[in-house]
Each structure stands twice: as structure tokens, then as C-alpha cells.
Amino acid sequence: MNWLAFGFSSGVAFFLSPFVVHHLGNLTYGVWTLVVSLIAYMGLLDLGLRGAVVRYVSRHQTQGDHAEANRIISGALWLRLSISTFAILIGLLFSRYAPRYFQIPAGLQSAARVAIGVAAASFGLTLLGGVFGGVLAALHRFDLLSAVAISQTSVRAVGVVWILEKGHGIIALACWEFSVVLTANLVLIFLAFRSYPELHILPTMPKRKTLKAIWGFSAYIFIIQICVQVMYYTDNVVVGICVSAAAITFYSIGGTLIEYIRQMIASLVTTFLPLASKLEAGGQRSELQSLLIKGTNAALVVSLPIETVLLFRGPTFIGLWMGSQYATVSGHVLQILLLGHILSVTTHTSANIAYGVGQPKPIVVWRVGEAIANLSLSVILARRIGITGVAWGTAVPSLFISLFFFPQFMSKLVGMPVGVYFRKGWVPAFLGAAPFAIACIVADKYWIPTSLVHFLLQVAIIFPIYLLGVGLLFGRELLAFLRNLEVLPAWLSRRLASPLLDKDKAETAL
């Protein structure tokens, strides 16, 4: 469901963006993008509170301590109310001074001020509703969260098309966004109370003990979020300052593809946080070990085919997608970034499990170090070798922390030898992808595509090689998964059940 929501929102944005640009024009669209960007940076005001709600509610709900869960939810809601008020005040401040400092034309300044103020109010509502979204995530109701997200995207898109067709501008867009956000968050509140009948909001100010518990967890998440912002969203700034503004385009093409993969994996691993919290609350240590192994397997199996194609055929793809002038430089940047990102997929899995069992603190020191190393190396290398230096400055610290910190930390956390973690969590996925990697190398050298459609057809033709490799290594797990989902025909499910049960009995006896 998370992937469906992500894919749907990405698809709508892909097709809607040209429509919005055409109807608003370059100038007005630029102002609207500025409005959205200014409000987006306020996302850091979440302060990690959603993660705290997911962590503690899933834990206390599993233990049957609904009174403590209600105290956490009420405390988080009280804090979010304060933060939302602050965010709206900041938005009003932005609306007063942003048109002056960002050189917005006089004819659009009034509209920009109103749009920023309304967008800030929408953000404040999103912060409040996020508490109830956290409750649903804690209950593992990602089906409901995704359904709301898909509905919100659909309604927003229909409204945007109607508003622009009627000739309205950014004020109307901002007001429509406010209406959609208000409705979506009211739905989240309703679903949270319905899914968790024991939920009650306490009218009194939260006690110091409750606030300490919330901040004791969310403060670490907040620091990690800042580090992630530095690692993933400052590269273009470094390129613009140390190389040139024109070079940003070449760098951002590769960086955008990495960001899409990162969001796709985040849609999977975000489900591990509440699950890990439930397992830890129930004292199910062996299940936590299994979650680490299977979660790492799943994240790698999902990401490796895309990363393999881009690693070995990235320049070819970019040349066909964006133009031949971008193929070499942007393709090289993409390949360097992928060297660090392929293994960082495992850290996303590990981090969410660590958050779920209440251990974000050890990650903070390493993330801060990674962020400092990332920024420092990027600046130093950018002045020496250009935009590829920025890519190396991002990839090397990521590769280091993925290899030397997270495996040791997570193995100790769940009580598993690090060699077992590598052997069961990492090795099978990379072995399964090896034949597909060879096929990509051969195809890129001897089977030259003439168009993007031709390229995609090539990938589709050789993709069964990856499925075969993964099937040979994970066939039993995949069959069991399909049987649990009840998507296999009854006769096939019965036929497969006997060998699987026999193998389980043999392993148990051994």
C-alpha cells in the first residue's frame, strides 16, 4: 500500500507538472514553487515527534497499557499544537518579508504573501493531523494511511486542474490545498479513533514525565533528520557555490534518480519501526533477529534491480532520457552516488528497527559525523575535481557508515553474530543480482538502444534473469509469502504446502 501511494503520487506529479507550468507561466510557477519550498523547509519543526508517537503507542498498545498510550498521544498533540502555532507565525513572517528578499515582481507580491500565509496554515494542520497518522502507523494500519494519501492526491489534482482551467492563480491553489489538507486530517482523526477504540485525548497539560519520554526519543530523531537534510539536500548548494550554477543541472539529474530510489525504499522500511516496537515490547528477540535479516533481504531485493541497471547503464539511460549532452557527466555522477547508496539501503532498514526498540541515540553520533564528513569532503573535492568531487564527498562517508557502523551496531542490538548478519542479510541478495548485473554490462556494450522505449524494452527482456536469480535464493520465502496472502490457487497452495512443511520439520529436527 505504501508503494502504491508513492507510485500514484509520483505519477500524478509527473503528468500534472507540465500542465501547471503551462497554465501559470514560468514567472508565476516560479513564485508558487518558492512558496512551496519555503513551507517545505518548515518540515523540520516536526522535531521527530511522529517517530516518538509510533514508537511508544505501538509499544504500550501491545502491552495493553492504553492509559500510557493516551498520555503519549495527548502530550504529542499538545506539543504539536504549540509548534503549529509557531509555524503559522513564521509563515506570516515569511509572507511579509519573502517577496522583498526573493525579488518577486511587484504584481505578484500581494498574491505571494497571501499564498505563503495560507500554505503555513495548511502546514500547521498537517502537523496536528500527523499525531493521528502516527497512531495509525503504530497500529500498522498503513492501508488506511495510504488510502488517505491516494485520495488526497486525487482530490488535490482534480481541484488544481479545475482552478487553472478557470484562470485562477496561486491564491486559489493555496486555498484549495488548505481545504484538501483540512479534510484529509479530519479523516485521519476519525480513522484513528475508530481503529483504536481505547484512544482518549486528555484535556490537561501533559506531565513532565510524559514530556521527558517524548523528548527523550524525538530529540535524537530530530538531530538525525537535520543530518539527513545536510547529506541529501545540500549537494546542489555546494555545486552552485563551488562550481557553477549551470553545473547544478548536471548534478541534480543523477541526484534526483537517487532520491526516487530512496523514497521507494522508505515506503517499505517505515513499516519496520512499529513492528520492531511491538516485537521488543513482547520480548520476541528471535523475531527481531528475523526482522533484521528479512527486512534487509526485502530492501535489497527491491532496490538492487533498479540500482544495477543505473549503475551499469546509467549514462546510456540519461542520454536517452535527458539528452546526449548529459549522458557522460550526469551519468558519472549517478554511478558515483550509487556506490554509496546501494549499501545505505541496509542502513535505512537498520535505523527503523533501532528506532522501534528505542535505540536512536548511538546512531546520532555517527550520523552527525557522516553529515560533517559529507559536507567537508564535498566542498574540498568540488574545488579540485568539480561536480564528481561532490558526488564522492557524498558517497564515501555513506559507504563507510554502511560497512563499519550499522552492521556491528545492529548485530549487537539484536544479539546476532555480525558474520551471520552479513551471510544471511546481505550475501543472498547480491548473489541473486550478480547474473542480472552481468547481463546489464553485456547489453550496454553490445546491444545499443536507439530510444528510451527501446532501452526500457531491453530491461524488460533481461529482467527475468534477475527474477530467476532471486527465485533460486528466496524461492521458499516467496512461496510462503504468496500462500499467506492467499493469492495462489487452492490446488497449487496445497501442492506447495507439503514440501515446505517437510523442509520445516527437517530443519527443526536438525
Distance of CA 169 to the CA centre of its chain: 31
Q: Is the pLDDT of residue 13 over 80?
A: no
Tell me which H or E stretch contains 251.
Answer: helix 245-269
User: What's the pLDDT at 501?
Assistant: 47
Looking at 29-33, 351-355, 447-451, which range is the least confident one? 29-33
Say if residue 339 is exposed, middle or buried (CB neighbours under 10 Å; 0-12, 13-18, 19+).
middle
Q: Is the pLDDT of residue 140 over 60?
A: yes
User: What's the pLDDT at 47?
Assistant: 66
User: What's the pLDDT at 436?
Assistant: 94
430 — pLDDT class (breaks 50, 70, 90): very high
Q: Is the pLDDT of residue 348 over 60?
A: yes
Please give the average per-residue pLDDT across 128-142, as a whole number: 86
User: What's the pLDDT at 482?
Assistant: 64
506 — pLDDT class (breaks 50, 70, 90): very low
Task: Tell me the pLDDT of the chain averaged across its residues.
Answer: 82
Whether 116 and 95 have beta carbons less than 8 Å apart is answered as yes
Q: Is the pLDDT of residue 509 over 60?
A: no
Please give the average per-residue pLDDT across 454-463, as a whole number: 92
272 — pLDDT class (breaks 50, 70, 90): confident
Say if residue 29 is exposed, middle or buried (CB neighbours under 10 Å; 0-12, 13-18, 19+).
middle
d(Cα 409, Cα 369) in Å, to the nearest integer?
A: 16
**Rounded alpha-carbon distances, angstroms, from residue 281 to 277, 284, 286, 287, 354:** 6, 8, 13, 12, 13
461 — pLDDT class (breaks 50, 70, 90): very high
User: What's the pLDDT at 363?
Assistant: 87
Q: Is the pLDDT of residue 487 over 70?
A: no
| Share of residues in the chain with pLDDT > 90 (%) | 17
Q: Is the pLDDT of residue 493 over 60?
A: no
Q: Which one has a higher pLDDT value, 248 or 347?
A: 347
| Share of residues in the chain with pLDDT > 70 (%) | 87
Question: What one-character-per-residue DSSP string does 102-141 give?
Answer: TT--HHHHHHHHHHHHHHHHHHHHHHHHHHHHHHHHHTT-
SS3 of residue 489 by DSSP? coil
d(Cα 471, Cα 464) in Å, to the nearest integer?
A: 10
Q: Which one has a higher pLDDT value, 239 or 42?
A: 239
Please give the average per-residue pLDDT across 437-449, as a whole number: 91
Whether 157 and 12 have beta carbons less than 8 Å apart is answered as yes
Please give the average per-residue pLDDT across 347-356, as a whole number: 86
User: What's the pLDDT at 68?
Assistant: 84
Domain definitions of the chain by residue range: 1-220, 234-438, 439-509
Say how many C-beta atoms besides its own lie within 10 A of residue 301's C-beta: 19
The angle, 0 to 180 degrees and rounded to 10, between the axes of the packed helices 245-269 and 235-242 is 170
Whether 149 and 121 have beta carbons less than 8 Å apart is answered as no
500 — pLDDT class (breaks 50, 70, 90): very low
User: Considering the entire predicted model, what is its pTM?
Assistant: 0.72
Q: Which one has a higher pLDDT value, 208 or 296?
A: 296
Torsion of CA 75, 360, 357, 126, to 10 degrees: 40
The cell numbers describing 413, all together, are: 542490538
Q: Which one has a higher pLDDT value, 502 or 283?
A: 283
**Rounded alpha-carbon distances, angstroms, from residue 463 to 59, 216, 309, 460, 469:** 41, 46, 10, 5, 10
Torsion of CA 130, 134, 137, 141, to 10 degrees: -60
User: What's the pLDDT at 497?
Assistant: 53
Whether 152 and 122 have beta carbons less than 8 Å apart is answered as no
Please give the average per-residue pLDDT across 239-254, as a whole number: 76
Looking at 131-145, 171-185, 201-215, which range is the least confident one? 201-215
